[in-house]
Amino acid sequence: MPDVEDTLTNALRRRIIDGEFAPGTRLSEISLAEKLGVSRNTLREAFRVLSEQGLVEHVPHRGVSVASPTVADVVDIYRARRYVEPAALSAASPLHPAVAMMREAVEQGEASLEERDWRTVGSANMAFHDAIVALADSPRLERLFRDIAAELRLAFLEIDNPEALHAPFVALNRSMLETFLAQGGPAAAAELQDYLVLSERTVLGAFTRLRHG
Amino acid sequence: MPDVEDTLTNALRRRIIDGEFAPGTRLSEISLAEKLGVSRNTLREAFRVLSEQGLVEHVPHRGVSVASPTVADVVDIYRARRYVEPAALSAASPLHPAVAMMREAVEQGEASLEERDWRTVGSANMAFHDAIVALADSPRLERLFRDIAAELRLAFLEIDNPEALHAPFVALNRSMLETFLAQGGPAAAAELQDYLVLSERTVLGAFTRLRHG
DNA sequence: TGGCATCGATTGTTCAACAATGGTAGTCGG
DNA sequence: CCGACTACCATTGTTGAACAATCGATGCCA
């Protein structure tokens, strides 16, 4: 059954992001290959891709483990986000197709908030920011964001207070969308700057509490 | 002889960037593995990494070939550069260690210009912009730039007028550095914006002449 | 000339083997 | 009792061979 490759990489990606393997977990080639029903060589090719994407850490002769973002990683991720997201939003047109994605993400977030499904709230928030990056129409920036968003999800996984982590931002997303539509990109970008500062502080706070407390 | 892996990836990277395999060249697994003295499986792992970095294009069942950037790729690369480079320069401190790298790159460029070694001029220009990105102190942004810079080099390889491509920018780099030191980041960033517009136009001009001329 | 079946070369994947490395457990000496 | 050393063992790194699946080309036929 050839061409399992891409599917395998994506399947592994999703499993890791979904938290099936906790951050830091060692991924044994032999047992995982057996579990997934593929050969070691095929699995290793997938590992290389995931390693390049930052989802998995590869240490020579010690195998790969699910990435476990450090505080420095979180700081860097937010730094990169501040470079890309506000600029993309600021320069965007309200007629851009991705605006529909932004709206859908906001509505999904509000619906999931109602049901107290924090996990889905988090996904919706991510989808919102993914849509913002999509406004830039740049495959390379989208790829960057896809990778750092995946890493960020790993950080989220280690924080077991998803409500505090995701719930407050649904309203901010709604507000940002309305600002964008009513007052244009630059005004919304200003909001986004504050949003990212707040989000970073929230994550870092929970994170340091987790690590040394 | 284990641990050939990373070395292999880097060796292939350099060979491709240096133009040993022209853009578009098909890289046969069997013959290349034999040539490099590694097994097919090992080579395939390296291919996955290079493919993820955009240096090589992988088409299922048709193998990998050296990437051959399209006009759309060049446009996107410059779009990404405009997002990252001016912002990094604008926010930077003149005391940042990377400033020394900028100066070295400028001087290298001027020296190579004297010797009419356009290839090295191009490398020095790239090093200059690499240093600008380094000002941001962000591993993830550096990785993004490393990848798109490699892709851009592939585009340069296809244009056989390296003098027009690289020579004019040495003086602009020097000027930008002086502006940065004398007037600070924002003023230099403004120059960089114009620089990138000019550079993109230069590349695209040569490129379209090449493709349908 | 244009459509079609066949063939050949290449990729996708698996398996088995061995070398090299790193961690671990057990041993020895203090 | 504790720390350093050693031998072992599980795992990774890499190879080579094998076979299935696919793509492109070759040559055939109308």
- Phi then psi for residue A113, to 5 deg, are -65, -40
The pLDDT of residue B74 is 97
**Which portions of chain B are predicted below pLDDT 50?**
1-3
Contact B79, A136 (CB under 8 A): yes
The pLDDT of residue B1 is 41
Chain A: residue nearest B3 by CA? Answer: A60
The reply to whether A37 Cβ lies less than 7 angstroms from strand C is yes
Residue of A48, A62, A145 to mutate, interface with B, max B Cβ within 10 Å: A48
Determine contact: A213 vs chain B, CB below 8 A: no
Burial of B88 (0-12, 13-18, 19+ CB in 10 A): buried
DSSP B127-155: HHHHHHHHTT--HHHHHHHHHHHHHHHHH
Cα gap B203→B209, rounded to integer Å: 10
Calculate the angstrom distance between C1' of D29 and CA of B27.
36
Cα gap A189→B200, rounded to integer Å: 26
- Kindly tell me if the per-residue pLDDT of A49 is higher than 60: yes
Q: Residues of A with CB below 8 A from B6's CB?
A: 60
Average pLDDT, whole number, for chain A? 94
Chain A window 107-166, residues with Cβ within 7 A of nucleic strand C: none
Cα gap A187→A96, rounded to integer Å: 17
Q: Give residues 115 to 144 of B whose Cβ lies within 8 Å of A.
A: 136-141, 144
- Kindly tell me if the per-residue pLDDT of A2 is higher than 50: no
Distance from CA of B113 to the nearest CA of A (A): 32
- The pLDDT-based confidence of A5 (bands split at 50, 70, 90) is low
The reply to whether A30 Cβ lies less than 7 angstroms from strand C is no
Cα B81 to chain center, whole Å?
11
pLDDT in tens, B148-159: 999 999 999 999
- Kindly tell me if the per-residue pLDDT of A82 is higher than 80: yes
Calculate the angstrom distance between C1' of C23 and CA of B68.
46
Sheet holding B26-27, edge to edge: B26-27, B63-66, B56-59
Burial of B41 (0-12, 13-18, 19+ CB in 10 A): middle
Q: Residues of B with CB below 8 A from A88's CB?
A: 83
Residue of B48, B59, B76, B90 to mutate, interface with A, max A Cβ within 10 Å: B48
The pLDDT of residue B2 is 38
Smallest Cβ distance to B52: which of A49, A76, A137? A49
Q: Residues of A with CB below 8 A from B77's CB?
A: 140
- The pLDDT-based confidence of A210 (bands split at 50, 70, 90) is confident
Cα gap B38→B26, rounded to integer Å: 18
pLDDT in tens, A105-121: 999 999 999 999 999 99
- Range of lowest pLDDT (A58-62, A207-211, B95-99): A207-211
Contact B71, A70 (CB under 8 A): no
- Phi then psi for residue A58, to 5 deg, are -115, 120
pLDDT in tens, A156-198: 999 988 999 999 999 999 999 999 999 999 999 999 999 999 9
C-alpha distance from residue A203 to each of A130, B115, B199 (Å): 18, 53, 39
Determine contact: A96 vs chain B, CB below 8 A: no
Region of B138 (left: φ > 0; alpha: ψ -120 to 50; beta: rest) is beta
Q: Residues of A with CB below 8 A from B134's CB?
A: none
Whose C1' is closest to the CA of A43: which nucleotide? C13
Per the structure block, which two tokens stand in for B110? 């001027």
Q: What is the DSSP letter of B160?
A: S
- Kindly tell me if the per-residue pLDDT of A3 is higher than 90: no
**Type of residue numbered B163:** E
Q: Which chain C nucleotides are covered by protein, judged by CB under 7 A?
A: 10-17, 19-23
Cα gap B83→B6, rounded to integer Å: 30
Chain B: residue nearest A48 by CA? Answer: B49
Whose C1' is closest to the CA of A60: which nucleotide? D12
The pLDDT of residue A213 is 55
